[in-house]
Structure formats: structure tokens, C-alpha cells
Structure 1
Amino acid sequence: MSIGAVVRRIRAYGGQFLLLGVLTLVITLLISGVPRITNRLTEQGLREHMAQQLPARRDITYTIAQDAGSTVPSNAHAGQSRLDVLQETMPAQVRHAVSERWYVADSPMGRLTGPDLKRNNILVDLALRAMPAVPDAATLADGRWPADEVPRDEPTQIALSADTARKLDLRVGSELRLALPDSGVPPASVVVVGIFTPNDQSDGVWDSLPQLLRAAEPQGDGQPFIAVGLTTISALDHQAADGVWLTHSWRYRISGDAVDATRLDATIDELQRLAQTAPAGLKVVQGADVPLREFRDALASARTLLAVIAAGVLATLAGLVLLAAGLAARRRRDEFALLRARGGGSTTVARRTLAESLLVAAPAAAIGWLLGTLVPGAPGTTVPYAVVATALVALALPLAALATPGGVGRRDLVRLRPSARRLTVESSLLVLAGLAVVLLRRRGLTLGEVDPLLVAVPVLLAVAVAVLVLRAYPWPLQLVSRLAARARGSVAFLGTARAGRSVVSTPLVVVVLAIATAGFCAVVSSGIEASRDRAASERVPGDALITGERLAPDTADALSGLPGVRAVAALASEPGQRPARSIAGLDAGINQVSVLAVDGPALARVGRTAGRELSLPPAMRAEAGDGPLPALVSPAVATDLTRAGLAGSAFLSLQGQRYEFRVAETVESFPLVTPGTERFVVLPLQALPDRRTVAVPTGFVVAGDDLDTEALRRTADEGQQRYQSGGVVTGGERPRGAEVQTWATSRQRVGEGGANGLLAFGFVSGAAGGTLLGLLAIAFTVLAGARARGQVLSRLRTLGLSRRQWRGLLLVELTPLVGVAVFTGAFVGALLPLLLTPLLGLSAFTSGMPVRVAFEPGLVAAVVALGALALGFAVAIEALNNRRLRLGEVLRLGEES
């Protein structure tokens, strides 16, 4: 065979080979580009996840242990020189993950005095800090930075943050005295030489405690401000020479940009072993392994879900390739018959078609691969997969040519029955799908790994259900056809009769597989979003949650009077309480629990007003009465109370008063209880008996429209001040400011960061790809029977069938085929989440809230819309094909032209 002859045959059947080439290009494009996208989204998610963490969960901090002995640095210069040495001692993965590092040397807290402080009667405790990284991260607002070399007999130079200088009413030139208690060191002279402001308050250099940027407010009357003054290493060395004990810390920040996402397990293991590898005399504190482990778990779940989606998409593409090859082979049936009649064998047909498909598939695969390399992101090791996929696509046409029967016949006049071989294959497929589902549910899976069984189950289940439905659906159509035969007109009878005898089952299986993939993505995505809503509602069961210390009871009325507020519910919480056996406080020997008292009826009203799904148990609606309070308890607390014989009567303290309660119900979680809390007791606030000291709220749940968070915070602060000044409690401690958390903010936090970007990409690409491939498979379904329909329509048109009747006949014939395929695919797409969701670990994306797959009316409407779109697309394809074939010529040219 010459290349020229092969090219001429490709040109003669250009449309069919173009379709095969496009499918090859799409497959290799996905193989090359999708791993790059997933790697880029993984790195981006890791970076965002680490950036959201508190400093304690991003930093590795070395400090001097209590038994350090001679390993304590003699001065700050010696401590600074160990910054590089300590990083070099870290394991390789941890060392490479460090993006920033800081050395801090602090002097002890001392009492600061001076004329400027005495003038305003301000008490201040000040620590001196040397931190070489500060001048590069701040800008001088006044004065200069402390000088590096200052004689020991001169005052110690310090720089203060603008906030600290403002609170303490200090300025450049302020002369002070710093006395260290119980140190035996005489007071030192201190002079303020500079005032600075941070370039970026979120910079990690400011995360050292106590805060350098702001002075801590006094905790009560007669208590001092806590402040830090910046000085130089030389100044602290002078103090060390005088006998002042310095504290040293070396802090290294782990950044998501610096962590290798492909080696998370190794990085986590090395972080956990840091304490064992730390130099003698040093103590290591790190929490970076916790967020990395959280991201690893979420990434494993996302990759497992992506494997399911990719399996559906690739299986659909493989089915389309087989359909394209089969359609091309049927169109060339006469050519292959002629080759055999002239003495050619099966190998001749196979060689000819293999040369043609290779000449089309290889360039298309190369183009798809090159296009995939243009996608931003780190490449994956996918070259072998692309080569294998190209080879399989190239083999599809020769295999289809060998499988195409040589004879022709009037298939529309024969009632086809499935052969025994086909029935055996289909029965085996059903049994295999059932066994695979049972085995997967019993065995489970390892998240993050491409499990062959997990990849096979969705495909097997979709194909098995499709085979069952496509075997069963002709029977109702035949019944409808008999009824239509008795009615007037021929359109309904002919259309249902032809639909009942349709033999395009293979294309429809591909449609079911594609729509099932899109439906699976839509159902799981909807379930995750609903679970995230529930997780946010667990934290904020209204539109806003206000928390503080103790607020005056009339704060509820003040909140109700704010614009937009429609409902308010009070709550009181107190952690760390031990159950008692009696009102006198006899200890029950049970570990501490968190106590939450909430106004049940008011909370239910807030939930209804805000549109939240709150199902409060009857115990929370109880009214005040005699006997123990009905309480909701966590399973761990219920077990302890039952073991101690206190399930019917126990006592808990709330704001200094003990209340008797009984276990009314055991619950895994409850709104307003911090997620992950395993030991809690919830009491009905409205049912608390009268006491000498009434329990006052520590927070409120608010429902309303367009709430002003600043107004809510200000009203709550005023309520705290009224409680403080109302003479209810003794002592002058200043309450902390009230905090306001909205439902929208909580919902945003639940759905952002981590591997959520990767998950969203999987859902969007799976739903969009499944829908598009499903429409393409419907086009194959239509084209598979287009020639037979063209012959029938040609005869009917010559017998007087009008154009309007012809369109009606086409619609009646295609509606059952398309409708059954789309709705069967949607059914499988809704069934798969029920089977797979418990195994996929999707709670990693919902803050631990279990993902429940529920009926969504919106999804049903989407399926109906998709069915209408698919039917319209099928009719349009058929119309275009008939116009191209010219129905009159179909009839004149013969049965199989």
C-alpha cells in the first residue's frame, strides 16, 4: 500500500476520519493538560491553606529548654549566629519548606518609669527585644533606629511602634528608667530614639509574643500596660554582661509555596520527628504538621473523586471512539466486501484500515499533546498513557472493520432478537457490576490512590443499568404502538413502532454513561454545598452570632431595636465544668465538659426567620418546672454519666450556680457547640430555675436582613459595660470586646481554601464534559439509524406524507430513545453518590459535616431541560443529515446506498 493511496482514501472519507482525529486530539489533550491543571490547583490550594493558618500552625520555633545547661548562648550575638546552623540540622524536606526565619532575643519584663509616664499616671511593664529583621519590615515615622554600637555607660536606645507610643504618650527623646525586679541588676536608663510603623501588619516578623506592634491593655484596675521596645543585639549583650538572663528563640516559617505538594507525607513525618532531631538543650514547638495533614486528607479525597469523574469521561470518550469506528466501518461495508471478493483476506482489510487510522491518529495525538503542554502547571508522567491511548484509538477502526458483517439485509423488516452470545455477555456484565458494588462497599478504599475497583464500578454500573433499561423499554413502546394503530393517523403508530424496533442500543449506552458522569458531579456538588450550609448553620444558626463575656439581660431588647433585626435568642456558655453528684458540689469523678444553655423557643424562631434548617429536640423547648432540667449530652458524656449512675440526676455549674439535669437525649452535635467538641451538655436556658444570681447571656443569635455588624458589636459592648457597672459582680476587670460572626462569613470559610479549587474543577469539568459528550453520543445515536430512517421517510414522502407529518414522525421516533437515555443516565448519576459518598471522605470539604445526598428539585428540572435540549439537538442533527442525503436520492440509489 502506498502512502498516496492511503491519503486518497482518507480524503474520500474525510468526515469520518476528521471525527476520529478530533476524538484522538481531545483524549491526548486531556491526558497531557488535566494533570497540569490539577498540579497547579494543588499548589495553589496548599499555598492558600497555609496562608489562612494562625502563626502557631505555620512556624517552627526553637527555644532554650529548662535543662539547657551550657548550651545557652552567652549573648545575643551568639544566638543570632545559630539561625543558619539550626536550619541546616533540619531534615531535608522541612529545610526546603522554610520560606522565612527570624531570631529574637528578649530581656525580662521590667517596670518602666519616667516623667512622661508619671505625668499621665501610667503603669508600664517593658521588655527589650533585639530582632534584626524589623528595620527591613517597618518605616520610621519619627527619629531613627537604635544605633548598633553604643557605649555601656550611655542609655539604652529603643524604638517603639506608633501604637505603643500613642498609648503610653511617649515620643522621640523620652527618657525613662527600666528596673528588673529580683534580678540584682541596677535600673538602666532608656531613651526613645525612634517611632516606627509596619509596612505590612500581616508580615510574619510581627507574630512574636508578646506583641511588638501594640501595647497590651491593662487587665484590671492597678494593672500595667505590657509593651515591648526594640533595641539592638549589642544593647542586649551589654545587659547580658551585667547578669541579665536573656531568652532566645529561633522561628522558621513554613510556606505553602515552599512545600513540595508531591511529598506531603515525607514533610509531615519529618516535622513530627523534629523534636527527636533537635540539638541538645533546645525545645522545638511546631504545629505545621496539622494543617499539612488536613490538606493531605482533603487532597486525597479530591483525587479519589477526580478518579471517578475521569473514569466516566474517559470511558465515554472510549465509547465515542468505538462508535465512530463502527460507523465508519458500516459505511465502508461494500468496500470491504469487494476486497474480500477479489481475494483479499481479513489481514488485508486490517492492514488497510490500520494504515489509515495511524496516519490520522498519530498527528492528532501529537497536536493534542502539544496543546496540553501549553496549559500552565507542573507536568505529570503521562507520556506512556498518551502513547497507549493513541495506539488503542488507531486499533479501533481495524477491529471494527473485522467485526463488521459482510452481508446486507433489510434490518427494518426483521424483528431482531439478541443472540445467545450477546445475552450471555450482558448477563455476565450485570453480575460483574453487582459483585463490584458489593465488594467495594465491603472492602472500602484507600483515599488518594487510583483504585481499579473504584474506577470500574461507576462505568460497570452505568453500562449495566443502561443494558437493563434498553432491553426493557421497547415493551411499553410496542403496547403504545398497538394502541396507536387503532387511532386515526399514521404518525404515532409508525413512530412508536420504529422506536420499539430500534437497534441503536450501543450508542445509547454511551449516552447513559456520559449523562451519568454529569449527573454524578451535579448531585455530589449539590450535596457538598448543602452540607457546607449545615456546617455554617452549626456555627451560626441565625444570620449573626454575637459572643462576649457577660452581657446585661436587656441587651436582647437593645439588639431587637436595631434596624433589620427580626429575632434574637440568648445563650450562655461556660467551658471546663465538672459534673457533681449533689448541689453541694460532691465531685462525680467525670472529666470536664462544656456547658451551653440556650433559649430553645427563641433559637427555633431565629432559625425559622433566617431560613436555617434547625430541628431542635423537644428537650430544648421545655418550660421551667420542678425536677431536673432535660439536657442534651454528647455520647462520651452520656457514657460517663451512665457508668456513674447519674443519667437521671447530676449537677453542673453555670456562672457560679449549680443546676440539676438529666439526660434527655444523646446527640453527636448541636448548633453553637464548637465543631469537634466531644464532651458537652446543652441545657434549656428558658427553663433554668430561679437562683439568687440569675444566669446572664454570654452571647446572642440574631436573625435579620442587611445587618450592620458594627452596630451589633457596639450594642453588645454597651451591654457588657452595663453589666460591669450594674453592681452585679465585684472586681474591675475590663471585658474583652464582643465579637460578631455572620453566617455568610462562616459559610465562606467553610467553602474556601484547601483542595476546594481542585474539587470545583473536577465538578465543573465533569458536568460540562459529560453533558457535551452526551450530546455528541446522541448525535451518534441519531446517525446510527439515519440511513434506515431516510429510506422509510423517502417512501412515505412518495406516498403523500407531508413535511409537518414527517417532522412529527421524526419527533415521535427520537423522543423515546433520547428520553430513556437521558433519564437513565440521570438515574445512574443520582444512584452513584448513594453508593460512593460514604467511601470518598468528602467531609474533609465540609469541616467534618457528613455529606448527605438528598433529593433536589433543581436537579430534576435540570434533567428535564437537558432532555429537551438533547431532543432538540437530535432532531436538528437528523434534519441536517436528511438534507445532506437528499431523501429522494436515498430511495433511488437503493437499499444500502
Structure 2
Amino acid sequence: MKSLVPARVHLGPVTLLAVLTLSACLLVGGLPRAVQASFDEALHASLSDAAALQTDLLAQVEPASAEATLREPAQFAAGEERLRSLLPAPLRPLVLPPGRGTSHASATTYDTPVHGTGGMRYLNLGWLSDADRRVRWVEGRRPGAPGSMTYERESIPVFEVGVSEDARAKMGLEIGATRILGESDYAAVKVVGVFAAYDPADRYWTHHADVLRVTETQPPGKTDLERRATALISEAGLTRLNGDDRNLVYTWVLGLDPAAPTSLGAAEVKDAVADYERTVSVETPASGRYRLVTGLPGLLDGFLTAQGTARTVMVLVLGGLLAVSAGVIVLGVRLLSERADPALALARARGASLPQLAFAGAGPVALAAVPAAVAGHALSWLVPGPATFVVHAGPALVLAVAVGFAAVRPVVVHHAPLRERRDDVAAARPPLRRVTLEALVVVLALAGAYLLRSRSLAGEAGDDPFLLVVPVALTVAAALVTIRCYPYPLRLLVRLASRGRAAVPYLGLTRAARARPASVLPVLILLPALAVSVFASVIAGGVETAQRLAAWQATGASIKVTSRVELPAGVVDRVRAVPGVELVLPAQTGQVQLGYTGERAEAIAVDVAAWRRLLAGSPVGLPPLPASASGVPALVSPELHGRGTMDIGWQARTKLTERGVVTAVPGFFTRGKFLVVPLEVNARPSVNTLLIKGDADPAAVTRAVGGPTAVVTSQAAELAAIRDAPLTGTVRVVLRVTTGALAAYALVAVVVVLVIGAADRTRALAFLRPLGLSERQARGLTALEILPLVLVTALAGLVLGLALPAALGPGIDLSSYAGGVAVEGYAPDLAVPLLLAAGLAVVAGLGAYVHTAAGRRRGSGTLLRGGDLA
């Protein structure tokens, strides 16, 4: 049998099938690429935002003896070459070559005390292989070769060093100053220059934070600060730097390119790091045994967890889109196949074999679907992103469903020659075996939903097959229940309509209750389409609410000003004068001593009542701070709960009385030990924080503050940063595109169903028109035949979509879309589903009008066979 002739005769259904196939292949091929591209961008952003000390691979060794000491840069280069040769294949393209990025070698001492400071000053010595391109000398000169001097009747080395501006100011290391290092094996340093970094913000400096800045800590029980810094020495200084005299560590930094890893290879990279760590640990170079230091596996673990939960939601949404698109294509194939049924029945009666029927049914469909699938798949490559398995498998599955159904249906329908049957006389009773199977599906779906809520995830990073099967089972169960229960309320309405005088309601509802099997097929399309669209809108609403909560938790006010030092006098008045500022609340933050021990806690002194007014209308808040009869009232963290009265040391010793527990302080503390106390806890508050209410411009607030150490953050900026994150933005687009596509497919399904039943419906109207059926009554009868199915399915899809987030329970973790805040208490947004249901009803009504108008132009003689009116 030839395929071009049927395709040309039934050009309308063939064109519709081609358009549906092209759009489905474009969506199921393009959206996964976009999602995967967003995963890559999220991974790159995560690695770029992390400190290089976490992402890079650090091979470290402590020389055990003088023989293990490295004295020349060439020895470090040889060690790096050996370390790079041991890299596993997945890591080699990710590691930057020597001299690029953060890759370098270094030799540094640690815990090197300045003699006579009582352990409160430490000055370490460091050599950087790339210091020439990292720092510039602003005063003095570069360090030269070391010398010697006599100290306590011993000859000790004198290292020429350069220090940062911060070390010179805080540790008194002026040019020309000499300091003795150590408490037993002495060495001396002579400051000959002061340097500054070419780019202090470069990620490179996270490896050597104390080279640029002095590290200050407050030891327990002491009031003075402990200061640590690292001074730079020259290459010549390596000849006198050894591990016998002081704590010395050699480090080879293999810098990771943050933009090189991909989300698809993240798990492989994590495993490769573990393999490399084992390989390096057994390597025994002359300088000693290596140990690998890196935070990359932890970063990748966090990303894989976030990606897994994010991917779960995307699989649910895109899987629903794939199922709905395939279902609509099946309807289109059925429309084309039913048009060809008379010819196929005649061919079967004349001796055509079943394979010939299969080829005749699949041929026209293949002519339409294959070029459309290829074109859709090709267009999907215009979407940026990696090509995953789904990108290729999705279009292939769509094409296989279309051609396979087109080949199987004629074989099933025309297996017996000239076997005619009527499906509109009475509702067929389903066989017991089918009813039992359908009941089993419903029970298993409900049991799966219960088990999913009552247990934790079985897989890692969200890869739980159980989580992916349950939503599909629930959708199928809801569709089966809808199909089986749909006729019963209609039969009740038929009984009520039969008591009335109007014939149209009775006839329309009777035809709806006795619908052909093909007429209930839209349930399998409309129900998942509505359920997934409702699910997507509910998820989107929950994510937006959590994003707003995360932004407020990050700031604690519309605008927040923080500073490491006390803000200048008059800054509060200047900020109050900024247009848009409604309220300015001064506060003081700092670390306090608990009791007379080394235990510390974070504290904020603020007018709590005013802060509560500032937070009115926001999703965050604070409990009230009642007055205390004895001591200063305080809100404490759960870690400090139960201590009652406690002494703290801040600017002065103060007695606090616990008056409430607060789990988090918006904008400041989320875990650990912290306190909230009145601003008057200190006699003269050192205001270093401002909480601002209003819609003022953050840039104007920054100008009003004026201090170089002040940092201004706003709730609007935090919210924009969360929403503009690569993963969040892509998910928002995917949800919108999916909802729009599902709405379009649902409308197409209604139209196709109208067309599929057009012949039978027109024939029924042709019988009724000679009996006095008016055009208005014909439209009403057609609408009553179609609308009940649409409305019942819309209601079932709405209920299922609202129930899915609760049914999936702990399996859905959307915190990666909402700034790390858990998305809870999904608030249903009924705008999208109600609009979609209304659209379906309107399309059904328009279809009824068009159908009756078209049938009016055809005479009864052309619609009825001889003897039909007898």
C-alpha cells in the first residue's frame, strides 16, 4: 500500500501530527539542555564563590630532616611535575598549568613566635614561587640573600624580608627593623621592604591570607589580641630555611579552573579526588610523605545534593510534559487512523495481511512524524547546554510512540475482517480482570505515597527511583478513577434530566454517559496536563515565598549597614535624612565573654521593640523582650537556654537574665551561641550597625554613611541575587514554558476529541433535526456531551496537582532554589489552573458552535445511509 495517497487525502490530520511531533521533540530535547546548562552555571558559580583554598588541590609535605630540605626553585618544579603526572584522567583538564590561575609552590613556616612577646606575636617566613607577579614593592627593596649575626653567643641566620602594609602598622615592622624569632632555635629577620598585592581580591590570596593581612585572635582568658603575619623571603633565602630549626611545610598548589568542571562529571571528579589522595599518600619523595589538602569533595557533595533535589522536580515536570505530548500525538494518530478505517477495513476484507495493515497505518504517520521529529531535535540544539541522554531519548520516544501506535491500532481494530460494532448503544461492562488490575494500581499508588512520606530518601543526591515512580502512579491512578467514576454522576444527572420537559439536557447527558472509549482518552491527557501545571504553579509560589524569606533572613531589615569598627558620629542623622528612609535603628554587635572562662558568644544590642516594629509585615520576626526584675533581660539561643542568670564581659561586666529563646536573629545569627540584649547594656554603645526601614536607594545610604569599612546590604538586592541565580532563573523559565506547553496541548486535545467524534455526532444531529431540533439546541446538546468530561477532568487534575507536593513530602527539597531556605507550607495559586480550565471550557463551547454550524450546511441525505430513517 502506498503512503503518499492517504497522507494527501488526510492532509489536515497529517499536518496537525507533524506540528505536534515537532513541538514535542523541540521541548523534550531543548528543555533538558537548558536545565543541564543551569546546573553547569550553578556549579561554576559555587566553585568561583568558594575560596581557592577549598577548591584547589594542595599537596603538602613537612621535611623531616636537613637532607629532605628543598633549597632551589628547580626542586619545587620537579616535585610539581611529578604530582601532575599522578593526576587521574578526570582531573587533568580541570587543573590549571603552572604559572596560571592559583597554581604555584610555596615554602612557609608556621607557629614561629617573635622572641620576647610571650607568645602573642608570630612572624612566619614564606617563599612564593610566583611572588614577582603577585606583589609590587611600594617601599624599600626586594629581599636579598640571608646573612648571619651573633645572638646569645651563637651564630644565627638573618633573613631579609618584606612585609605588608598591615603587618608594618600592626606589628611595628618598620623598614630597617630587626626581630629575633623562636624560643630555642633562633633566627633573625631584617625588614628591607614593604609590598602590596597587585590584586588583593584575587582568589589566590586565600592560600596566604596572613601574607597580606595580620590575623588577629583573642585567646581565652586574655584581653590582648594575638597577631600573626607572614613575611616574604627571596629565593636565596631557601638555602637557609630548613625543617630542623623550625616548623616548615612545602606546598604545591594545583589550581582548579572553576569554569572547567561540569555537572554531569561532578561525581566522577569527586571520586577522582579520592583516588588522587590515595595515590599521593603513598608517594615517598625525598622531601617526605605527601598529604593532600582540599575542600573540593565537600563542595561537590553539597552541589550534588542540591542538583539531585532540583533535578527531581525537573524530572517530574518534564516527565509530565513528555507524557502529555505523547498522549496528544496518540490522539492525532488516532484521528488520522480513524479517517483511514473504512479503506483499511475494505483492504482487510479483500485479503490484506496484518503486516500490510500495520505498514498502511504507520506509513502516513511516518511521513509526517519522522521529518518533524528530526527538525524538532535539530532545533533543540539551538538551546545552549550539554546533550544528555534525555535530549536524544525524548524525541526518539515520541517518534516511537507515534509510529508504533499507528502500526498497532489497525492490526488490533481490523484483526477480524468486517467486524463492526457500536459503542454508543450502551456502556460496555469492563472485564473483571481489568477492574482488578486498575484497583491494584490505585492501591499501589496510595501505598507508595504513604511510604514516600513516612521514610527518608533511599538514594543519594535525590536519585530515588521511588520518588520518580510514585507521581506517575498517582497520576495513572487518578486517571483510572476518573474514567471509571465519570459516568456514575452523569447517570444520576440523566435521571434528573429525564423528569424534565426539555429533551436536550437528557440527550446530551445520555450521550456523555455512554461515551465511546475514544471519548474518554482525553482524561489521560487533560488530567496529567492540569495536574502538572497546577503542581508547577504551586511549586513556583512556594519558591517565591521562600526566596523572600531567605532575603529577609539575610538582612533583617530593608537595608542593613554593618561595620567592623564604630560608625562615625552623626551618621544616624545623615542616614535619616536620606529620601525614602522611614526608620533608622542603631545597634551594636560583637563577641562577648561568658562568665570568666574562655567561652564566647555573639551578641547584638538593639531596641528589640523598635526592631519588631521595623519587621512588621515581613516574613521574619523576633519574640518580645520583657523587662527583668534583676539583671539585664536577654533573648538567648537554644545552646544557651536554661542557664538562667549569667555574667558576660563586653565593654564592662554585666549580669544577664534569660527572658526568652530565639532560634535565629534575622540578618545576623542562625546557629551557635548568641544573645539579643537591649542597646543600653553598655554605658556608651559603640554603634557599628544600622537597621533601616524604607525604600531608600542603597547607594544613597552608602554615601550618607561615608565610612570605608561600612557594608550596605538591602533586602531587595539579596532577593534579586537569589532570583537571578543560574539554577533559579532556569527553573522559573522551565516551569513557565512547561505550563504554557501543557495548556496548549490540553486545548489541542479537546479540539482533536471534538474532531474525532465529529462524524458520529453529526450523524446523531442529522437524526434529530428532522424531529425539530433547532440550531441553538444542537449547540447545547454538543456542549453537554463534551463539557462534563472536561470539567470533571479539570477538577481531578486540580485536586491531584494540589495534592502532589504534600504526597511527595520529604522527597521535594527546593531549598537550592530559595537561597538555602526550606520551602514549606505550599500555598496554592489557583490562577493558572482556573484559567486553563476556563480555557478548556471555552474551547469546548466554541468547538460545539463550529461543529453545529458545519453540520447545518450538510443535508441529512448526505449524512444518513439508506434505511437509517426507516
TM-score normalised by the chain length of structure 1 = 0.76
Letter in 1 for 2:13: Q
* Distance of aligned partners of 1:524 and 1:888 in 2 relative to their CA distance in 1, 3 Å threshold: same
Trace 1:13-24 onto structure 2 (pairs within 5 A). Answer: 13-24=10-21
Kept after mapping to 1: 8 A contact 2:40/2:263: yes
Q: Return the match for 1:623 from 616, 627, 636.
A: 627
For 1:250, what is the secondary structure of its paired residue?
A: strand
Contact 1:43/1:256 (<8 A) preserved: no
Alpha-carbon displacement from aligned partner over 1:592-620 (angstroms, at most 9, x marks no partner) = 65455554322221112xx3123544xx2
Aligned pairs (5 A) from 1:451-490: 451-472=464-485
**Residue 476 of structure 2 aligns to a residue in which SS?**
helix
User: Is the 2:559–2:693 Cα contact (8 Å) retained in structure 1?
Assistant: yes
Which moved further from structure 2: 791-800 or 843-852?
Answer: 791-800
Q: Are the counterparts in 2 of residues 72 and 281 from structure 1 also a CA contact under 8 Å?
A: no
Residue identity in the other structure for 2:648: S
Residue of structure 2 equivalent to 1:614: 620
Measured in 1, the distance between the counterparts of 2:410 and 2:538 equals 39
Aligned mate of 2:104, from 98, 102, 105: 102
Does residue 311 in structure 1 map to residue 319 in structure 2? Answer: yes
Deviation string, structure 1 residues 552-594 (Cα, Å, up to 9, x no partner)? 899767654543222344555555755x6xxxx6x7xx97654
3-state DSSP class of the match of 2:104? strand
Partner of 1:657: 653
Q: Which residue of the partner structure matches residue 564 of structure 1?
A: 580
CA distance in 2: counterparts of 1:134 and 1:273, whole angstroms: 31
Distance 2:588 2:482 in 1: 58
1:892 and 2:835 are equivalent in the alignment:
no
Report the residue type matching 2:68 in the other structure.
Answer: T
Q: Deviations over 1:415-452 (max 9, x none)?
A: 52543455445433322322332343345442556654
Q: Which deviates more, 179-188 or 72-81?
A: 179-188
Report how far residue 510 of structure 1 moved: 0.9
Q: Measure, in 1, the Cα distance between the counterparts of 2:393 and 2:528.
A: 26
Shift of 1:377: 3.5
Instruction: Report the counterpart of residue 703 of structure 1 in structure 2.
Output: 693
Worse-matched range after superposition: 40-49 or 372-381: 372-381
Q: Which residue of 1 aligns with 2:178?
A: 179
Q: After the TM superposition, which residues 368-407 of structure 1 pair with which residues of structure 2 at under 5 Å, given as runs?
A: 368-373=376-381, 375-381=383-389, 390-404=399-413
Gaps of 5+ in 1: 111-124, 169-174, 718-735
CA displacement, residues 396-430 of structure 1 (integer Å, 9 cap, x when unaligned): 12332244486667765x35254345544543332
Match of 2:525 among 504, 507, 510: 510
Is the counterpart of residue 832 in structure 1 residue 804 in structure 2? yes
Name the structure 2 match of 1:732: none
Within 5 Å, give how 1:747-896 maps onto structure 2.
747-751=719-723, 753=725, 755-756=727-728, 759-760=731-732, 762-794=734-766, 814-856=786-828, 859-878=829-848, 887-889=857-859, 892-894=862-864
Equivalent residue in structure 1 for 2:49, among 49, 52, 57:
52
The amino acid of 2:345's aligned partner reads A
Residue among 538, 548, 553 paired with 1:523: 538
Q: Residue 508 of structure 1 contacts residue 777 of structure 1 at CA under 8 Å; is this kept in 2?
A: no
Q: What code does the residue aligned with 2:862 have?
A: R
The 8 Å contact of residues 46 and 295 in structure 1, kept in 2 or not, is answered as yes
Q: How far off its partner does 1:52 sit?
A: 1.9
Q: 2:673 maps to what in 1?
A: 680
Tell me which amino acid in the other structure corresponds to 1:860: L
- Contact kept in structure 1, 2:43 and 2:263, CA below 8 Å: yes
In the alignment, which residue of structure 1 is the partner of 2:427? 416
Offset of 1:742 from its aligned partner?
A: 1.5
How far apart are the structure 2 equivalents of 1:388 and 1:544?
52
TM-aligned CA deviation for residue 507 of structure 1: 1.0
- CA contact 1:534–1:849 (8 Å) conserved in 2: yes
SS in 2 for 1:306: helix
Match of 1:87 in 2: 84
Partner deviation per Cα, 1:125-146 (whole Å, 9 max, x = no partner): 99997656466679x9999997
How much does 1:299 deviate? 1.2
**Which AA in structure 2 matches 1:746?**
E
2 CA distance for matches of 1:89 and 1:254?
16
Q: Distance in 1 between matches of 2:318 and 2:261?
A: 27
Q: Work out the CA distance in 1 between the residues paired with 2:464 and 2:865.
A: 49
Map 1:151-550 to 2 at 5 A. Answer: 177=176, 179-182=178-181, 190=192, 198=198, 202-205=201-204, 207-210=206-209, 233=235, 236=237, 249-271=251-273, 277-278=280-281, 280=288, 284-344=292-352, 349-358=357-366, 360-373=368-381, 375-381=383-389, 390-404=399-413, 414-421=425-432, 423-443=435-455, 444-448=457-461, 451-472=464-485, 498-499=511-512, 502-503=515-516, 504-548=519-563
- The residue type equivalent to 2:832 in the other structure is A
Whether 1:74 aligns to 2:85 is no
Contact 1:108 1:127 in 2 (8 A): yes
Aligned-pair CA distance for 1:543:
0.6
Give distance in 1, aligned partners of 2:815 and 2:75. 49
Letter in 2 for 1:605: R
**Paired amino acid for 1:779:** V
Structure 2 gaps, min length 5: 113-121, 149-158, 219-223
**Residue 806 of structure 2 aligns to a residue in which SS?**
helix
1:122 is matched with none
Match of 2:115 in 1: none
Q: Given that residues 631 and 655 in structure 2 are in contact (C-alpha distance below 8 angstroms), is that contact kept between their aligned partners in structure 1? A: no
Q: Distance in 1 between matches of 2:729 and 2:37?
A: 10
Amino acid at match of 1:13: H
- Identity level (%): 23
Partner of 1:567, secondary structure, is: strand
Report whether the alignment pairs 1:671 with 2:703.
no
TM (norm. structure 2) is 0.78
Q: Distance in 1 between matches of 2:535 and 2:413?
A: 34
- What SS does structure 1 have at the residue aligned with 2:254? strand
CA displacement at 1:79 relative to structure 2: 3.5
Among residues 694, 698, 710, which one is paired with 1:738 in the alignment? Answer: 710
AA matched with 1:314: L
Q: Distance in 2 between matches of 1:788 and 1:53?
A: 67
Deviation larger for 340-349 or 532-541: 340-349
How many residue pairs match? The answer is 819
Flag the 1:264–1:478 CA change in 2: closer, same or farther, 3 A.
same
The Cα RMSD (Å) is 5.2
Cα pair 1:135 1:145 within 8 Å, conserved: no
Q: Residues of 2 paired with 1:799 and 1:475: CA distance?
A: 29
What is the CA deviation profile of residues 639-688 of structure 1, one whole-angstrom value per residue up to 9, with x for unaligned ones?
A: xx5xxxx5xx34252624343445755x654534534x2x33554537xx
Query: Greater shift after overlay, 821-830 or 451-460?
Result: 451-460
Q: CA distance change for structure 1 residues 88 and 36 in 2, over 3 Å: closer, same or farther? A: same
Give the secondary structure class of the aligned counterpart of 2:522: helix
Task: Report the residue type matching 2:309 in the other structure.
Answer: S
Does the 8 Å contact 1:485/1:493 carry over to 2? Answer: yes
